[in-house]
Amino acid sequence: MKEAQITWTHTDEAPALASKAFLPVLQAFTKGSGIKIEVADISLAGRIIANFPEKLSADQKVSDYLKMLGELTQEPDANIIKLPNISATVPQLVAAIKELRSKGYDIPEYPEEARNEAEKALQARFAVVLGSSVNPVIREGNSDRRPALSVKKFAQKHPHKMMKPWPESGSKARVSHMTTGDFYGSEKSLTMTGATDVRIEFVGQNGQTTVLKEKLALLEGEVIDAAVMDVQALRAFYAEQIEQARRDNVLLSLHLKATMMKVSDPVMFGHCVSVYYREALDKHAQTLKEIGANVNFGLADVLDKLNKLPAAKKAEIEADINAVYTRQPALAMVDSRYGITNLHVPNNIIVDASMPNIIRDGGTMWNKDDQLQDCIAMVPDRCYATMYKEILEDAKKNGQFDPATMGNVSNVGLMAKKAEEYGSHDKTFIMTGPGSVRVVDKTGRVLLEQSVRTGDIFRMCQAKDEAVRDWVKLAVRRARATGSPAIFWLDEQRGHDREIIKKVQNYLPEHDTKGLDIRIMKPQDAMRFSLERIRRGQDTISVTGNVLRDYLTDLFPILELGTSARMLSIVPLLKGGGLFETGAGGSAPKHVQQLVKEGHLRWDSLGEYCSLVPSFEMIAEQTGNKKAALLAETLDQAIARYLENGRLPSRKVNEIDNRGSTFYITLYWAQTLAAQNEDPEYKNRFVTIAQALEQGEAKIVQELLAAQGQPVDLGGYYQPDLAKAEQVMRPSTTLNAIIDAI
């Protein structure tokens, strides 16, 4: 029998550290099973190193694992476990480069403001590690995201305690969005009737043409869009909401996704910073320009760049910035202890993680006094803001959701072949002047055209026919398997969605839909329909595009399960393999901060455990490997025991953390393998292992707890020292001896 391979991704922050504890267990338990575990480094540091090898020593260089994974997705037996990775903003990229350079890596510094062609070329090279650069490469399939049945049952039996009541006397909280001038309102879309190459060009008012993108291959049946964010309308929207927040005495908050939408959203973030702090920033505009302060990187960049100035000038500008807070409405806080606001750094508030917390917290966010207060949540673009408005208004009217009784909303997501907005980075441009942007085919025919003004944000998106057809098939399959209604969240008033609706209506008849409830509804109506069912304890399948897939698979799991990290995310690859994603990493930075400070890692690896079950099952199905089927079955049983016995990591130091959770999943898996009678060889091996773990339990737990309560040195944030990280994550010599002896 051919040896099967599972590729485990080494990523960043808490998931990467947790792997130091769990991977030795996985590698030990799969010995002799015909399954090999390989590790591929797609961390931010690893991607930087792989892309800048010229001046590195032989022992510093690493392979381009992301490219290798992209190639692997084209193989029918690809089996990839994808952990959450950093979708880097520029500040994160700069910090990672600084750390690597301090460790002796001769990597060029990132030019935040390109002053010549060489620096522009350097920016372009670094662009491949910014934002969601990992996902378009390896997401060569559409996604099936849902909680594992055992996880959902556990959540209902033991509901999480984080849900705060909505005030009966009424809440001032609301979601605000633009009503004109946004991407939604301007979007134009069409379906290609034949294959061709196109270019994107800007035509100025003087008639001069500048090519923005030289050559882009389009396929027959592909849906393409062009949309513009009118920044004058955007800034007017921000100013209006600032005034409204002041009148209502509520917190002001901004919710974007600057990590994934790495060209457009940092600029939209920067406009909010400049409008809110306008008085101080305008007063010192020339000085701030001279020192390279960039509002797109948040107020933190402005404050950091002030260090270049004489002390007196720095103090003057800081005083003017602080004076803004006496006249403007209060900002929602990320960390009130350090004065870090919602506008401090663009990657601090990520819409898909931050908006569910507002619902969970009863329409509130934290203020400067570390108290919860009603807020205005600004989600500028209407493409998805309306569904957030719908759930917030539902909660205001009907009260908080109950995790013990609420139904589930799973998701079938269109993301294959860089579908939709997340694949738009190389086709998004900030306008340097007024004119028009055109998408022109090789014959000179204008396919799409948008009028623009200076500073406007133009983006073009794509969705390939193959991806849409597979998405429809997956939706029907899930509806048939579950019996739940499947709702396509599509808005016929939006240009892109109109074209996708036509395809859905064409492709649904290719499948047996008899007896199934399959509908097409605009996002706010789909949200209302789903919430009505949720409150009755009924399940619904959301069938959405790429961005909504992300938003909903954070929103509902955070309410249902307490975290989206416990979601099962299966991506059946178009070529026949499987990608198994392990949850969301939005909280990963805070987890690392706590580990460094207190020696406690609260990252929950349940997503990793759950993802391995279908991974093993795929190997068994493809190869007939009975040991793979056994590993899947016994791990699933071990997960159920792990949940029932409450072995998830605690948030508090000196209680069970990720390392303790790793021990207990190891113990339960070994016990389950020892108890089974399907494979005598595995049974005999694991009887001894289970006994050793049982007998050593008290000592192992003692050793793991003894490792907490004091600061730890990881030897780096973006690239921890290997030996130090392993020492931190494997502190039990008793457990290590048992695992290493297998």
Res 552: pLDDT? 95
Query: pLDDT confidence of 262, banded at 50, 70, 90?
Result: confident
For residue 127, count other CB atoms closer than 10 A to its CB.
16
- Average pLDDT in the 132-159 region? 85
Cβ(240)–Cβ(252) under 8 Å? no
Query: pLDDT confidence of 151, banded at 50, 70, 90?
Result: confident
Give the whole-angstrom CA distance, residue 45 versus residue 57: 16
What stretches of 249-298 show up as alpha helix (H) in DSSP?
264-276, 278-283, 285-290
Is the model's pLDDT at 210 over the cut of 90?
Answer: yes
User: Does the residue 106 lie in any domain?
Assistant: yes
Q: What percent of the chain has pLDDT over 70?
A: 99
Res 585: pLDDT? 58
- Average pLDDT in the 398-415 region? 96
Cβ(189)–Cβ(421) under 8 Å? no
Is the model's pLDDT at 184 over the cut of 80?
Answer: yes
Are both 583 and 534 inside the same structural domain? Answer: no
- 542-593 pLDDT, tens per residue? 999 999 999 999 999 999 998 887 788 899 999 999 999 886 655 667 899 9
Are both 620 and 530 inside the same structural domain? Answer: no
Domain end marker among 563, 596, 616: 563
Half-sphere exposure of 561 (CA within 13 A, CB side): 30
Are both 399 and 524 inside the same structural domain? Answer: yes
User: Does the residue 380 lie in any domain?
Assistant: yes
Res 330: pLDDT? 97
Res 544: pLDDT? 98
Res 586: pLDDT? 58
Res 284: pLDDT? 97
User: Does the residue 711 lie in any domain?
Assistant: yes
Are both 83 and 118 inside the same structural domain? Answer: yes
Cβ(413)–Cβ(472) under 8 Å? no
User: Does the residue 154 lie in any domain?
Assistant: no
Half-sphere exposure of 93 (CA within 13 A, CB side): 26
Is the model's pLDDT at 484 over the cut of 90?
Answer: yes
Q: Domain of 585? A: 4-140+573-740
Res 244: pLDDT? 97
Are both 252 and 214 inside the same structural domain? Answer: yes
- 95-128 pLDDT, tens per residue? 999 999 999 999 999 998 888 898 889 998 998 8
Is the model's pLDDT at 130 over the cut of 90?
Answer: no
35-41 and 4-10 beta bridge pairing: parallel
Res 259: pLDDT? 84
Res 584: pLDDT? 64
Is the model's pLDDT at 686 over the cut of 80?
Answer: yes
Q: Tell me, what DSSP letter sits at residue 3?
A: P
Domain end marker among 505, 534, 563: 563
- Average pLDDT in the 651-672 region? 97
Top mean-pLDDT range of 147-156, 219-228, 252-261: 219-228
For residue 325, count other CB atoms closer than 10 A to its CB.
15
Cβ(704)–Cβ(732) under 8 Å? yes
User: Does the residue 166 lie in any domain?
Assistant: no
Cβ(580)–Cβ(615) under 8 Å? yes
Burial of 479 (0-12, 13-18, 19+ CB in 10 A): buried
- E-state strands within 497-635: 518-521, 540-544, 567-572, 578-581
Task: State how far the alpha carbon of 347 is from the alpha carbons of 93, 112, 256, 479, 597, in Å.
Answer: 12, 17, 9, 36, 22
- Average pLDDT in the 524-534 region? 98
- 60-88 pLDDT, tens per residue? 999 999 999 999 999 999 999 999 888 88
Are both 471 and 372 inside the same structural domain? Answer: yes
Cβ(110)–Cβ(122) under 8 Å? yes
Helix (H) or strand (E) holding 201: strand 196-204
Q: Tell me, what DSSP letter sits at residue 540?
A: E
For residue 721, count other CB atoms closer than 10 A to its CB.
14
User: Does the residue 67 lie in any domain?
Assistant: yes
- Average pLDDT in the 594-605 region? 95
| Average pLDDT value for the chain | 94
Packing angle of the helix pair 722-729, 13-29 (nearest 10 deg): 70
Is the model's pLDDT at 38 over the cut of 90?
Answer: yes
Q: What is the CA radius of gyration of the chain?
A: 26
Helix (H) or strand (E) holding 169: none
Are both 644 and 594 inside the same structural domain? Answer: yes
Domain end marker among 518, 544, 563: 563
Q: Tell me, what DSSP letter sits at residue 593?
A: H
**Residue closest to 487 by CA, chosen among 533, 534, 526, 535:** 526
Query: pLDDT confidence of 168, banded at 50, 70, 90?
Result: confident
Res 479: pLDDT? 97
Among 142-146, 513-517, 694-698, which is the least confidently predicted range?
142-146
Query: pLDDT confidence of 1, banded at 50, 70, 90?
Result: low
Res 628: pLDDT? 97
User: Does the residue 155 lie in any domain?
Assistant: no
What one-letter code names the amino acid at 220?
E
Res 566: pLDDT? 78
Are both 549 and 594 inside the same structural domain? Answer: no
Are both 504 and 582 inside the same structural domain? Answer: no
Helix (H) or strand (E) holding 261: none
Res 34: pLDDT? 95
- 290-341 pLDDT, tens per residue? 999 999 999 999 999 999 999 999 999 999 999 999 999 999 999 988 899 9
Looking at the 3D structure of the chain, how many domains does it have? 2
Are both 365 and 410 inside the same structural domain? Answer: yes
- Average pLDDT in the 190-206 region? 96
User: Does the residue 163 lie in any domain?
Assistant: no
Are both 133 and 61 inside the same structural domain? Answer: yes
- Average pLDDT in the 350-367 region? 95
Are both 554 and 449 inside the same structural domain? Answer: yes
Cβ(155)–Cβ(561) under 8 Å? yes
Enumerate helices (H) and strands (E) in the chain, giving the number of each.
27, 24
- Name the percent of the chain in helix, strand, coil, to the closest 5: 50, 20, 35
Res 494: pLDDT? 96
Q: Tell me, what DSSP letter sits at residue 163?
A: P
Query: Which residues does residue 580 pair with via DSSP β-bridges, in sequence order?
Result: 81, 570
Give the whole-angstrom CA distance, residue 638 versus residue 599: 27
Cβ(729)–Cβ(13) under 8 Å? no
